[in-house]
Structure 1
Amino acid sequence: MPTFAQAQPDALLSMPTSQENIAAGLEADAYANGINAFTWGYPLVRMERVIREYTDVPNPRPDTSYRAPLNQLGWAKTLATPAAKDMPTANNDTLYLSSVVQLTEPYVLHVPDTADRYYVVDVFNMWQELQHYIGRRTTGTAAGDYVLVPPGWKGTLPKDLKRLDVSTKTVWLWGRLRVNDGEDLKPLHALQAQFTLRPLSQRNNRDYKPKEQTLAALPTGNDDGLDFIRELAAGLKDNPVPARDEALFAQFGRFGLTEKGFDPSRLSPPQKAGLLKALADGPKVAVSALASAATQRNGWAWATGLDQFGANYPLRALVSGPYLGGQGEKEAMYPLRSTDAKGQQLSGDKHYVLRFKSAPPVDGFWSLTVYNAVDKMLVDNPIARYKLGSDTQGLKVLADGSFEVPLQAEKPDGEFAANWLPAPKGPFYMILRLYQPKSEVLAGKYELPQVEAVE
């Protein structure tokens, strides 16, 4: 019988089906699918945790907190400070709104006339996907009523309601209301009180009072290192796998995760080893998404598509973690910077200067905020300045529109000392927020400032 030479090497054809190779393959398969399960499923796990945290209201509740009981609106009464630990990378520009809504029926969100004051309410599904914007850019600032409609609802709505269909039965409302530097907050508190949320069936009930409800606890902890998969399985009971992801999800059945739940007893030792390694490396894959999803502009990481993830699951995971609640670029841009012009990590043991040729062109406003690199929180400092922006009182700007920002831990001297943005003693990063950026920003024509170390 004639034989034929292989045109190309084929490792599978020559691979013995030995116990050693089978064990190695089981570990590699669990590792590969475990990585995908982490990056795909992290947003759901994160949201399941968040909706429980944000409906667990402390007593007394700090003024910086926006926590509220289930199906109720929670407003922060003051701007975020270093003591506000709920939200990583919190801004110091707006009062935050949060509401976790279980859509047993449609719910009506009423927004008042804000007289052109910037506000936005983002509607997130349980995969941390931003499905609707309500606010100045998209719907204007006149009063209006918006109804959140759960999947599968078949009723009809009054004509004066704006219908917003969502893809999961639980949603998270995440809002922002602008505060000008030094502004009296009492009128804003009165404005906040005019935002209301109630079931459609109770829309016209003057005596309506929301029921006190709580969410069931997540699965209890275990010491085998697989709690993430257990929480993912629990989240999927109330949030079915989207149709577009069914083929991907089917692969996870090989390590025991199916629509029926997660059975770790089915794991062989090699599979468990691979899955544990995947859960350790999964966060690294998510963090690496910034390198592929963001472009570098004058040293700043410039990410887009935060409201259009598509199949970029690592980016969706990253945003739902340390950048929870991030918006798309038309609503706000978030250029991020953690290194100086020489590529060295920003650190409070050095002095830096940012030279703006002009203020960022925006239809809303802009701000520059510094965060500790380790905990991603605002930086405590002696002048209680946590950001610098378009409304900063006493900002020194030259006649041609240019200005400098000293960035350091100690109080600076010189012409632009009034523009000091305090930095922590250790490593840090910063975010330049651009609310409603103009076309030249979106097109990349605006030159972001370089960060120079001062020798």
Structure 2
Amino acid sequence: MNRTPGTARDIGGVPAGTVVTAEFARLLARDVYVWGWPIVNAFHRRASFAAAPERGLVGGVLPAAPIGYVTMLSGYVDPAQRWVAHPNQDVVYGFGYGAVDDDPVVLQLPDFGDRFWVCSLYDARSEEFSRLGSQYGTEPGNYLVVGPRWDGRVPDGIRDVLHAPTELVAMGPRVFLDDTAEDLQAVQPLLNQLVIHPLSAHTGEPSHVDWREIPHFPGGANTSGEHQWVDPGTFFDELPGILDRVPPLPGEESRYAMMRALLAAAGSDPAVAAALKEAAVETEATVVAPLFDFRTNGTRLPGGWNSPLNVARWGFDYLTRTATAKSNMYVNQPEETRYFFQEYDSLDRRLDGDRRYTITFPPRQVPPVNGFWSLTLYNPEHFFAPNALGRYSIGTKSKDLTYASDGSLTIHIQHERPSDEHAANWLPAPRGAFELTIRAYWPGPAIEDGTWTPPPVHQV
């Protein structure tokens, strides 16, 4: 960098008019790309929802809703959906987006009784800023979500106001459901009262939607991996708008100034602009793409499991934020859910459905939770692997698990059906590579302080 004389002001520590070389721009651009990847991802996901004409299911499987609304499913997520990777089949999902500077959102939350539920709200950084759910003792009623620049009147009948850090808000309710037909029937009246809509559509009267009767919109089911939400070729063209709509965290002011200086240099020097695009393409391939593997996400634990400790509460941990946005976006805060990832067996060999495996929880050592737990199997793209049984996870929801006489629980993971005595504990695996995730909803103290970790996966 060569300074030019007569600069009038500084931009992020770099005097205005400073010559920015293409190589220096390329160096900074790699860092900026990792920082901004999850945020651009979130804005593109919201834009995809904005096209929905009303609350419904795209292709009959994907919940979609206009901005300010949430569409709830009426049962487990369909294995065919490819909008978000790493779903699970022990909750009923809902999802939608708000633009809460323009139009705040009203959450109508029913009385779930002793059924576990959580209503997660995320800002543009995919940080969860809400504390709504069973473990918080949230009272039923109407809650209002407002943006940082909204300055309106709170209507009567609002129990509490939640202040979003950004105008973009992603909304993801989750309600526990077990595998029985009786529970599927019992949960419907509760789901039908879980209604989220814009303040502009709020009448003050209770709302009711039968989510089993919502319309289906055309849309083909993608059978491969998750949609590519971030285009490195346009990333730096979109970045100025991102910086305008997502204010810096305390301590990020100099980073924002640096990014604006970089963009200003690109606007006046085609070589710098080209360097930014080249750096984005390179960083996508060499840095972001490898973060899709769960072995790169979080802390390595005994038994070979990985677990990120600060999910949905990233702060300045841009690495884990991007890794999670790439592999399994929109996770819960650690005290709501702990995630444990496994791609290798106890001898550090890639899990493969052509082999047979077991996981044995010793007596009284299933995941210690106040909510529920599950073990879910995925293909290498982090989606469900088709199987004739239609069983993708095992856990609290499974009412027919068999325990050994000493109280231990062994899960059998293999492609072929095991013997009858093990069939209830069978998690079907595909041919070829697969991976596992344990979710611990409302984790107990032993999980939170690290004294409990999952047992290893052993090849039989």
Q: TM-score range by the shorter chain?
A: 0.7 to 0.9
1:151-162 equivalent positions in 2, closer than 5 A: 151-155=148-152, 157=154, 158=156, 160-162=158-160
Task: Tell me how far 1:233 sits from its aligned partner.
Answer: 3.2
Change (3 A) 1:236 1:271: closer
What CA distance in whole angstroms lies between the structure 1 residues aligned with 2:255 and 2:176?
A: 41
Structure-2 residue corresponding to 1:389: 395
Structure 1 counterpart of 2:360, from 355, 358, 366: 355
Contact 2:303–2:457 (8 Å) recurs in 1: no
Aligned residues: 414
Is the aligned partner of 1:227 residue 2:234? Answer: yes
Q: Find out whether 1:432 has 2:438 as its counterpart.
A: yes
| One-letter identity of the residue aligned with 1:294 | T
Larger radius of gyration: 1
Name the structure 1 match of 2:69: 72
Q: 2:253 maps to which residue?
A: 246
Offset at residue 270 of structure 1 (A):
5.7
Runs (4+) of structure 1 exceeding 6 A deviation are 261-264
Asked if the contact 2:294/2:327 (under 8 Å) is kept, the reply is no
SS of corresponding position for 1:333: strand
**Aligned match of 1:379:** 385
> Which residue is equivalent to 2:336?
331
Question: In the alignment, what sits opposite 2:326?
Answer: 321
1:312 deviates by 0.7
Percent identity over the alignment? Answer: 25
Give the match for residue 171 of structure 1: 169
Partners of 1:334 and 1:328 in 2: CA distance: 10
Please give the secondary structure, in 2, of the residue aligned with 1:334.
strand
CA offsets 1:236-258 (integer angstroms, 9 cap, x no match): 34334445322123333464368
Structure 2 unmatched runs, 5+: 1-19, 209-227
Partner residue in 1 for 2:299: 294
Q: How does the TM-score come out when normalised to structure 2?
A: 0.81
AA in 1 matched with 2:325: S
Q: Distance in 2 between matches of 1:430 and 1:300?
A: 9
Which whole-Å CA distance do the structure 1 matches of 2:120 and 2:194 have between them? 14
Q: Is the 8 A contact 2:301 2:453 kept in 1?
A: no
Shift of 1:163: 1.5
Contact 2:93 2:172 in 1 (8 A): yes
Return the match for 2:79 from 77, 82, 86: 82
- Report the RMSD for the aligned CA atoms in angstroms: 3.1
Bigger Cα displacement from structure 2, 284-293 vs 42-51: 284-293
The Cα of 1:453 is off from its aligned counterpart by 1.1
What is the CA distance between 1:447 and its match in structure 2? 4.2
1:65–1:77 CA contact under 8 A, matched in 2? no
Change over 3 Å in CA distance of 1:408–1:189 after alignment to 2: same
CA distance in 2, matches of 1:145, 1:205: 9
Amino acid across the alignment from 1:93: D
- Could you tell me whether the CA contact under 8 Å between 2:290 and 2:296 is conserved in 1? no
| Counterpart residue type for residue 45 of structure 1 | V
Three-state SS of the structure 2 residue aligned to 1:123 is strand
Q: What's the secondary structure of 2:107's corresponding residue?
A: strand
1:325-352 Cα deviation digits (max 9, x unpaired): 1112210111000000011111112111
Amino acid in structure 2 at the alignment position of 1:83: A
SS of equivalent to 1:307: coil
The equivalent residue for 1:31 is 26
- 1:186-245 CA distances to partner (integer Å, 9 max, x unpaired)? 442332221233444654455999xxxxxxxxxxx9xx9621222333433433444532
CA change 1:114–1:269 in 2 (3 A) is closer
Alignment partner, residue 193 of structure 2: 194
Q: Secondary structure at the match of 2:145?
A: strand
Residues 384 and 197 (structure 1 numbering): CA distance in 2 closer, same or farther, change over 3 Å? closer
Provide the TM-score with structure 1 as the length reference.
0.82
Where in structure 2 are the equivalents of 1:267-278 lying within 5 Å?
267=272, 273-278=278-283
Q: How does 1:40-55 map to 2 (within 5 A)?
A: 40-55=35-50
**1:365 paired to 2:372:** yes
Taking the aligned partners of 1:315 and 1:168, their CA distance within structure 2 comes to 20
Q: Does the 8 Å contact 2:69/2:98 carry over to 1?
A: yes
Q: Residues of 2 paired with 1:371 and 1:289: CA distance?
A: 12
CA distance in 1, matches of 2:390, 2:293: 33
1:99 and 2:96 correspond? yes
* Gap change, CA 1:447 and 1:101, over 3 Å in 2: closer
Between 114-123 and 405-414, the greater mean CA deviation after superposition: 405-414
Q: Which amino acid aligns with 2:114?
A: D
* Matching residue's letter, 2:31: N
CA distance in 1, matches of 2:264, 2:286: 19
Q: SS state of the match for residue 66, structure 1? A: strand
Residue 341, structure 1, aligned to residue 336, structure 2: no
Distance in 2, matches of 1:192 and 1:292, equals 33
Q: Distance in 1 between matches of 2:252 and 2:124?
A: 15
Question: Partner of 2:16 in structure 1?
Answer: none
CA distance in 2 between counterparts of 1:40 and 1:178 reads: 33
Deviations 1:258-291 (A, max 9, x none): 8xx9678352766654454334333057558965
